[in-house]
Amino acid sequence: MPPKSPTARHKRGAPASSAAPRLVSETPFGESSLQLRRFRLANGLTVLLLRDASAPVLSYQTWLRVGSRHEQPGKTGLAHLFEHLMFNETENLGAGLFDRRIEAAGGETNASTWTDWTHYHSDLPAAELSTIVKLEADRLQNLVLREPQVRSEKEVVANERRFRVEDDVEGTMQELLYAEAFRHHPYGHPTIGWMADIEGFTTRDCERFYRRYYAPNNTTLVIAGDFDEARLLRLLQRHYGPMRAARLPKNPAVTEPTQRRERVSRLVLSTPTEKLLLGYHAPAFGDPDYAALSIANELLFGSRSARLFQRLVRRDQCASEVTGSIAPFAEPGLLDIYAGLRPEHHIEEALAAIEEELERMKDETVSEDELERVKSRAELGFLMAMETASGKAEQLGFYETVLGDAALLFTRLEQYRRVSTADVRRVCARFFESRRRTRIEVRPADGASGAAA
């Protein structure tokens, strides 16, 4: 066992309690016979349980309400680096043993970080319930941070950044799009962090971050699958109950000033064809207009019958690919549109076609048939996201963390069903404003526009 580290967390805040987890609410899991049960420990830890014994497996997920939005300039990428460090050493477990224990149990474990959250997930055979409770509770309160591991993990993250951004054309464009569209709001810096910030992190930065954000009252556990609820609650109380709540920092609200003019950036990169990325300011995931704009996005990009696929890929044949997506963020993000042009075709053609189709969405009401087709697709997508224990837990954790209530998952499909053709037209008029747009253009460097022989 490693020696007790000076980097272990300071115990502070409200005193610990031995009271059993309190049932807060019970909600039917959509139209199935399953029940979502919400509990809270005295220290503020939220627990969401979904018992589904259809397979002898379980998914154990830990969602923390901290992401890159909570980082300061000069320290970007810390939430993501920290996600990597959580797989290292604790006061009770040597370096690398967390992964070893999970693998020995037949499990898989990983994590992800985005703007609003950090998410740890493990899928295990149902018989390994106590193993995962002990491991996850331990690293949430007893992580040890040492310089060699921090240094090595910074290298890994720098390599991840090269993979996702520096040597990736679309990654480079996405990073620049957000940096240009959000000049004040922290959504403007990349979740993976700027390279200089990654290289500059110290062990002390990491310790401070851990103490500040990794607290039971900033965490939701989601467990879905085959488990005995009473036994699980006893385990959770035993291993998480002694943790103390922390005084969480209040992050000052940052409102991005309204963008009044289009911002355009042009890059020359080693790529065979021209590329265009547009970003329109879009509503937060919890905004009532999010569902209608999602439907509009699907109408434009979501399938082979979608308007912009038909226009750019099939009719004009100027693009090999066109996609659109809306950031599912807690605060307003972007709806981004990407077009990969074909050889001999140019950004101007794609831009004119996109603008024309967006104007049509504002000027003309879409047909009921077109709307109903999109809703049918959305229903299938919603169902398929729930196929596995892991899929169910992920959806619940995401809704709980971003919207503050996992049960809103079950009303989302209904929100989609209620969207009318008038709603689609209204949100298109509201959000597709070219003067409030950010545009990234990429053209091939000389000699890069070759063709596979």
Q: Which of 42, 308 has the CB closer to another protein? A: 308
d(CA 20, CA 452): 65
Classify the C-alpha dihedral 39-45-49-55 as positive or negative: negative
Token pair of 77 as six digits: 């990428």
Nearer to another protein, 259 or 271 (CB): 271
CB of 89 to another protein, least distance (A): 12
Cα–Cα distance measured from residue 49 to residue 223, given in angstroms and rounded to the nearest whole number: 5
Nearer to another protein, 320 or 434 (CB): 320
Q: Which amino acid is at 96?
A: G
Host H or E run for residue 99: helix 97-104
How close are the terminal C-alpha atoms of the chain, in Å? 59
Say how far apart CA 118 and CA 183 lie, in whole Å.
Answer: 23
Neighbours of 222 (CB within 10 A): 28
CB atoms within 10 A of CB 46: 22
Residue 11 or 100 having the CB closest to another protein: 100
Tokens of 361: 């969405």
Give the residue carrying structure tokens 């001999």.
344
Region of 358 please: left (phi>0), alpha (psi -120 to 50) or beta: alpha
Closer residue to another protein (CB): 106 or 249: 106
> Do the Cβ atoms of 159 and 199 come closer than 8 Å?
no
17 vs 152, which CB is nearer to another protein?
152
Q: Is 73 helix (H, G, I), strand (E, B) or coil?
A: coil
Query: For the sheet containing 263-269, what is the strand order?
Result: 263-269, 437-444, 275-281, 334-341, 319-326
d(CA 94, CA 144): 9
Could you tell me the smallest distance in angstroms from the CB atom of residue 41 to another protein? 29
**Residue (138 or 316) nearer to another protein, CB:** 316
CB of 197 to another protein, least distance (A): 17
Dist CA 309 CA 316 (whole Å)? 10
Structure tokens, 71? 């980082």
Q: Which is nearer to another protein, 72 or 376 (CB)?
A: 376
Q: Which is nearer to another protein, 250 or 369 (CB)?
A: 369
CB of 296 to another protein, least distance (A): 16
